[in-house]
Amino acid sequence: MTGAKDCHHAMPSEPQAKSGAKSGAQAADCALDAAMDEAIAACGGDLRATIRALIVANDYLETEVTELMKAVSRAYARGRFHSYSG
């Protein structure tokens, strides 16, 4: 596993030389690795606890999205939202 330790996290305001600049995909990979390391650390290094916490969080967010979609749909049907016609 390549950890966030392998990535150079430059601040957005820091100039980077063109030859040493990371591509967008590499920068995204570094950010993802850092987020993974942070999640694992938050769970005390226990990978099963980390996965469990992420599944619980994902389920919560899916429920929120479903409820918001229902609310918007009801509001649209009652004429509270108007479609944008450009």
User: Measuring CA to CA, which residue among 32, 65, 28, 35 is closest to residue 50?
Assistant: 35
Q: What is the pTM of this model?
A: 0.60
Residues 85 and 83: their CA atoms lie apart, in Å, by: 6
Per-residue pLDDT at 50 exceeds 50: yes
What's the average model confidence in pLDDT over 35-51?
A: 98
Region of poorest pLDDT, from 7-11, 45-49, 59-63, 65-69: 7-11
Half-sphere exposure of 47 (CA within 13 A, CB side): 0
Query: What tokens were used for 57?
Result: 């969080």
Mean pLDDT estimate for the chain: 80
Half-sphere exposure of 3 (CA within 13 A, CB side): 6
